[in-house]
Amino acid sequence: MRALLVYPKFPDTFWSFRYALQFIRKRASSPPLGLLTIAALLPTDWQIRLVDLNIRSLSHEDIEWAEMVMVSAMVVQRPSAREVIARCKAAGKRVVAGGPLFLGEWQDFPEVDHFVLNEGEITLPVFLRDLEKDTPQRVYSTDDYADMSRSPVPRWDLLDTRYYDSLSIQYSRGCPFNCDFCNVTAMLGHRPRTKTADQILAELDSMYALGWRRNIFFVDDNFIGNRKQLKEEILPALIRWRQGKKGCHFITEASINLADDPELMRMMVSAGFTSVFVGIETPAEESLAECHKGQNLRRNLVESVRRLQQFGLQVMGGFIVGFDSDRPNIFQQQLEFIQKSGIVTAMVGLLQAPYGTALYQRMAREGRLLSELSGSNTDGSTNILPKMGLDTLRQGYRRLIGELYSPQTFYERVRTFLENYNPPGLNVSIHWEEVYAFFASMWRLGVLGRERKEYWRLFFWTLWKYPRKFALAITFAIYGYHFRQVFQNQADS
């Protein structure tokens, strides 16, 4: 069997980093880890080809070569996925689809031949057995959760890693918390299921053997869901693995209560973690209570963020406006909190209700569901009718974003972060791409950019006060350029 695995294109979004990636001559932030894992589960005698549309186009020759096309996509990739499916069906190919997009919307894709839903470690083998008997069903789904200790090493050999900024690895699935707007637990459950240290090291070894030395993103829904195993097995193994190796800094996602555990923070930094995404959502306690974000309640969130930064972890934050409890001053509250905390990479979006979540079910009962979900956290859209009114919410959101990423406000936030950030040993990997980005930033931001005054102010301020953090300052200046481009394009559309 000749199987063509296709990953649809992402639109320009906050997390695409498209405009920042141009500075380091990369085409995509991360590879399609799900498809690479599926490839490792396919029969060894199959011929497999992977096309990531964020890296290159899907050619007529690709489609003609294939006997079967397998598509995996997230909701935000819906338009591209439709185009891929239409092209492949027009060519008479059997199409198999899976991933979060199809989990909630498979009925909307009548042209797809087979859906392999939920976790592929469970449903794909059943599909393959039926396919071998020539009795494949249309939909394969399960209420069970996969045993992560049996998940294979992804097929990195199918990928041209030169075009990515980071590679990905998954240690666990599931999250112990119960945020009502999050579909992670709806898809993957509350009990974190984990891989062993041997599995993690085998995956890291496979990346390192390819010559990979850039960032590695642990794409866990909540990396610290199983602290006992982290402290006793995973982090000690990662610390040993790093000895004698260059580069390969780690990024992950975790809940804010990581800030309550100094031992865990120290171990993560020693293991090579430099950045963590945290779902902060809102400084308004009544809104946190509304969405059942109990882990964020009854704490000084600014101090928690600063504690993470002082231990050496850069904090990327997720924020939401549009909760039923939100008042008209929420936009100013969010701005003041983000500025005070020094969260440079602050993703602010309107509240949305993904399929399968408790919020979705509540909005359906109350008759407040609107158009289909866009899948983008920052395009100014929502699929629910907010209590404050759509016009009020959208106008407040536009004002917030306009101020948050204006050059003066953004660069002020970078300086706040650099003053808070105090890693025990600042280990910044400089590759030729970063050297190119440095000179490109001076021209595009320092000469041509409308932020040139703020750029040069940060440039010399950092050189004078924090020379060891200079590379970070330039990196964040480039991030700011990307964020402004994304939100400006949305405002113009």
Query: Which conformational region is residue 298 in: left (phi greater than 0), alpha (psi within -120 to 50 degrees), or beta?
Result: left
Question: Which one, of 283, 319, 464, 278, lies nearest residue 405 by Cα?
Answer: 319
Q: Where do the DSSP E strands lie in 213-313?
A: 215-218, 250-253, 273-281
Which pLDDT score is estimated for 426? 66
- Longest Cα–Cα distance in the chain: 70
Alpha-carbon distance 46 to 165, whole Å? Answer: 29
| H helical segments located in 342-469 | 358-365, 390-404, 407-420, 432-444, 452-465
Which pLDDT score is estimated for 428? 62
Which pLDDT score is estimated for 422? 87
Q: What is the DSSP letter of 276?
A: E
Which pLDDT score is estimated for 157? 95
Query: Which uninterrupted H or E stretch holds 318?
Result: strand 314-321
| Residue that is written with structure tokens 């500075």 in the block | 23
State how far the alpha carbon of 238 is from the alpha carbons of 175, 259, 363, in Å: 22, 20, 43
Which pLDDT score is estimated for 491? 75
Listing DSSP states for 23-88 in one string gives GGT-SBSS--HHHHHHHHHS-TTSEEEEEETTTS---HHHHHH-SEEEEE--GGGHHHHHHHHHHH
The whole-angstrom distance between residue 21's C-alpha and the CA centroid of its chain comes to: 15
Which pLDDT score is estimated for 493? 66
* Cα radius of gyration rounded to whole Å, the chain: 22
pLDDT tens series, the chain, 493 aa:
999 999 999 999 999 999 999 999 999 999 999 999 999 999 999 999 999 999 999 999 999 999 999 999 999 999 999 999 999 999 999 999 999 999 989 999 999 999 999 999 999 999 999 999 999 999 999 999 999 999 999 999 999 999 999 999 999 999 999 999 999 988 999 999 999 999 999 999 999 999 999 999 999 999 999 999 999 999 999 999 999 998 999 999 999 999 999 999 999 999 999 999 999 999 999 999 999 999 999 999 999 999 999 999 999 999 999 999 999 999 999 999 999 999 999 999 999 999 999 999 999 999 999 988 888 878 889 999 999 999 999 999 999 999 999 999 999 999 999 999 988 876 666 788 999 999 999 999 999 999 999 999 999 999 999 999 999 999 999 999 999 999 988 777 6
Question: Which one, of 38, 45, 54, 28, lies nearest residue 5 by Cα?
Answer: 38
Which pLDDT score is estimated for 431? 81
Alpha-carbon distance 454 to 189, whole Å? Answer: 45
State how far the alpha carbon of 211 is from the alpha carbons of 22, 100, 130, 367, in Å: 22, 31, 39, 53
Angle 354-9-30 from CA coordinates, rounded to 5° = 85
Alpha-carbon distance 205 to 198, whole Å? Answer: 10
Alpha-carbon distance 362 to 266, whole Å? Answer: 41
